[in-house]
Structure 1
Amino acid sequence: MSTPTLAAKPRRNVEALLLLVALTIGVGAGALVSLDRGQALPPGFWVQAGTLTALAVVFHVVLRIRASYADPVILPAVVALNGIGIAVIQSLDTPTGSDAGGNQLKWTVVSVLVAAAVLWFLKDHRLLRRYTYTALAVSAVLLVLPLVPGISAGDINGANVWIRLGPLQFQPGEIVKITLGIFFAGYLSTNRDLILLAGRKIGPLRFPRFKDLGPMVAAWVVAVGVLVFQHDLGMSILFFGLFMVMIYVATSRASWLLLGLVLMAVGGYATATIFPHVRLRIDAWANAFDPNVYGRFPGGSSQIVQGLFGMADGGLVGTGLGLGRPDLVPFANSDMIIASLGEELGLVGLFALVALYLVLFTRGFRAALGTRDPFGKLLAAGLSFAMALQCFIIMGGVTRLIPLTGLTTPFLSAGGSSLLANWIIVALLLRVSDAARRPDAPDLQAQPTLTHQSN
Structure 2
Amino acid sequence: MKNRASSHLLVLFLIVGFEVVGYYGLHRAALIRGYETSWVAAGRDLLFYVPIVGFVFWLTRGMKFAGNYNARNKAEARAQKTTALRMRFIQETYDEQKKQLMGLPPTPARPVNIDEEQPREADYSVSKALTSGATWIPIFSFACFAIAYSFCVRDGFLQWVQRNSFIIVLLTLIPLAGAVVTSSAGKAIGNMTPWEPSKIPFLLGFAGILTARYKDLARTYWGIPRARDVIPLVAMAAMPFIPFFALKDFGQMLVFSGAYTTLYLVAVRRWPQLLLFVGSVALVASILVVGALPHDVQERVPFLPTLARPVQAALPARIQQRFHLWLDGFDPPSPEISWWKKDYDEALSRDPRMRELAEQSPAMRNSVNVDVWFDRVAFQPAQAVFGIASGKTTGRGLGLGFPEVIPVADSDYIYAAVSEEMGLAGGLIIILALIIFVSAGVRTALDARDMFTKLCSAGLTAFIGFQALVNIGGITRALPMTGITLPFVSHGGFSLMTSFAMLGMLMAFSHRNAHDLQLAARTPVRIAPDEPIKAPEAVQ
**C-alpha distance in structure 2 between counterparts of 1:411 and 1:181, whole Å:** 19
CA separation of 1:344 and 1:353: change in aligned 2, threshold 3 A:
same
**C-alpha distance in structure 2 between counterparts of 1:425 and 1:252, whole Å:** 26
- Given candidates 242, 252, 258, the residue that maps to 2:279 is 258
| Cα offsets for 1:242-296 (capped at 9, x unmatched) | 2111011011242322233334444554654422221111111111122558644
RMSD: 3.4
Structure 1 contact 220–263 (Cα < 8 Å) conserved: no
Q: Give the corresponding residue for 2:101.
A: none
Q: How does 1:34-113 map to 2 (within 5 A)?
A: 34-35=27-28, 37=30, 42-50=39-47, 52-64=48-60, 65-72=62-69, 95=81, 102-113=132-143
Q: Does 1:18 align with 2:11?
A: yes
Q: What amino acid sits opposite 2:279 in the alignment?
A: L
| Cα offsets for 1:4-41 (capped at 9, x unmatched) | xxxx9644433332232233334543343124556677
- Given candidates 250, 256, 276, the residue that maps to 2:317 is 276
Q: CA deviation at 1:69?
A: 0.5
Q: Give the corresponding residue for 1:317.
A: 394
**C-alpha distance in structure 2 between counterparts of 1:134 and 1:169, whole Å:** 33
Q: Relative to structure 2, which stretch is displaced further, 183-192 or 169-178?
A: 169-178
CA separation of 1:321 and 1:344: change in aligned 2, threshold 3 A:
same
Structure 1 contact 70–437 (Cα < 8 Å) conserved: yes
- Given candidates 193, 198, 214, the residue that maps to 1:171 is 193
Structure 1 contact 31–41 (Cα < 8 Å) conserved: no
Q: Does 1:407 align with 2:496?
A: no
| Cα offsets for 1:372-425 (capped at 9, x unmatched) | 222111111110011000001111111111111011111111221001100000
Q: What amino acid sits opposite 1:57 in the alignment?
A: V
CA separation of 1:385 and 1:92: change in aligned 2, threshold 3 A:
farther
Q: CA deviation at 1:216?
A: 4.7
Q: Does 1:427 align with 2:448?
A: no
Q: CA deviation at 1:320?
A: 2.1
Structure 1 contact 219–239 (Cα < 8 Å) conserved: no
Q: Relative to structure 2, which stretch is displaced further, 94-103 or 438-447?
A: 94-103
Structure 1 contact 70–430 (Cα < 8 Å) conserved: yes
Q: From the CA coordinates, give the structure whose radius of gyration is larger.
A: 2
Q: What amino acid sits opposite 2:221 in the alignment?
A: R
- Given candidates 136, 148, 154, the residue that maps to 1:124 is 154
CA separation of 1:98 and 1:216: change in aligned 2, threshold 3 A:
farther
- Given candidates 198, 209, 228, the residue that maps to 1:187 is 209
Structure 1 contact 312–343 (Cα < 8 Å) conserved: yes
Q: Does 1:145 align with 2:175?
A: yes
CA separation of 1:351 and 1:211: change in aligned 2, threshold 3 A:
same
CA separation of 1:282 and 1:193: change in aligned 2, threshold 3 A:
same
Q: CA deviation at 1:62?
A: 1.9
- Given candidates 456, 459, 467, the residue that maps to 1:382 is 459
Q: Give the corresponding residue for 1:88.
A: none
**C-alpha distance in structure 1 between counterparts of 2:191 and 2:377, whole Å:** 26
**C-alpha distance in structure 2 between counterparts of 1:10 and 1:25, whole Å:** 23
Percent identity, please: 23
**C-alpha distance in structure 2 between counterparts of 1:55 and 1:93, whole Å:** 35
> Tell me, what secondary structure is at the counterpart of 2:135?
helix
**Unaligned segments of structure 2, at least 5 residues:** 70-76, 83-121, 292-309, 335-369, 526-532
**C-alpha distance in structure 1 between counterparts of 2:263 and 2:9, whole Å:** 33
**C-alpha distance in structure 1 between counterparts of 2:228 and 2:41, whole Å:** 59
**C-alpha distance in structure 2 between counterparts of 1:307 and 1:43, whole Å:** 30
Q: CA deviation at 1:322?
A: 2.2
Q: CA deviation at 1:355?
A: 0.5
Q: Give the corresponding residue for 2:110.
A: none
**C-alpha distance in structure 2 between counterparts of 1:32 and 1:137, whole Å:** 50
> Tell me, what secondary structure is at the counterpart of 1:60?
helix
Q: Relative to structure 2, which stretch is displaced further, 286-295 or 335-344?
A: 286-295
Q: Does 1:242 align with 2:263?
A: no
> Tell me, what secondary structure is at the counterpart of 2:494?
helix
**C-alpha distance in structure 2 between counterparts of 1:319 and 1:230, whole Å:** 38
| Cα offsets for 1:278-316 (capped at 9, x unmatched) | 111111111112255864449732221111011111121
CA separation of 1:126 and 1:390: change in aligned 2, threshold 3 A:
farther
> Tell me, what secondary structure is at the counterpart of 2:488?
coil
**C-alpha distance in structure 2 between counterparts of 1:301 and 1:30, whole Å:** 31
CA separation of 1:308 and 1:215: change in aligned 2, threshold 3 A:
farther
| Cα offsets for 1:169-226 (capped at 9, x unmatched) | 8634311211122122222222221112x1123xxxx222233222453256335423
Q: Give the corresponding residue for 1:305.
A: 382
TM-score, normalised with respect to structure 1 = 0.80
Q: Give the corresponding residue for 2:247.
A: 230
Q: CA deviation at 1:328?
A: 0.9
Structure 1 contact 62–116 (Cα < 8 Å) conserved: no
CA separation of 1:315 and 1:169: change in aligned 2, threshold 3 A:
closer
CA separation of 1:133 and 1:34: change in aligned 2, threshold 3 A:
farther
Q: CA deviation at 1:235?
A: 0.9
CA separation of 1:233 and 1:30: change in aligned 2, threshold 3 A:
same
> Tell me, what secondary structure is at the counterpart of 2:149?
helix
Q: Give the corresponding residue for 1:440.
A: 518
Q: What amino acid sits opposite 1:422 in the alignment?
A: S
